[in-house]
Amino acid sequence: MAKDTITVYEKPTCSKCREAAKLLRDNGVEFQKVNYYTQPLTEAKLTELLAKMKLKPRDVMRTGEAVYKELKLSGSSHSDSELVKLMVKHPDLLQRPIVEKGSRAVLGRPTENIETLL
């Protein structure tokens, strides 16, 4: 990936993901989109994105999702590595969109976070 390339990791039906794409288009920014439901993130890639965002796995988990409750993740003692594995296996657990540019990435919630990469 080129240093200045912006990649948006998204779920196309997600309203925040559509807002992110609109923000980038409105600012004349070229970007590529990765639907991580059809092109799943690897554990290595998700770990890399977390490091770039300076966030822990729990920081990007969708705690309101049914799968979060089914897996009893609230207050669990899962390690960061175990949580990453679960997010790769169950992409609904992952907050979105994640926007990456070179050595930096941000969680696009709120959408304004993306402006720090422009």
Give the helix, strand, coil percentages of the chain, each rounded to 5: 45, 15, 40
Per residue in 90-102, pLDDT tens? 999 999 999 999 9
17 assigned to active site = no
Q: Please give the model's pTM, rounded to 2 decimal places.
A: 0.93
The one catalytic residue among 7, 11, 14, 52: 14
Q: What are phi and psi of 60, to 5 degrees?
A: -115, 20
For the chain, list the domains and their CATH numbers. Answer: 6-117 (3.40.30.10)
What integer pLDDT is reported at residue 103 of this predicted model? Answer: 96
The stretch 24-52 carries a mean pLDDT of: 97
What integer pLDDT is reported at residue 4 of this predicted model? Answer: 80
DSSP 8-state secondary structure symbol assigned to residue 1: -
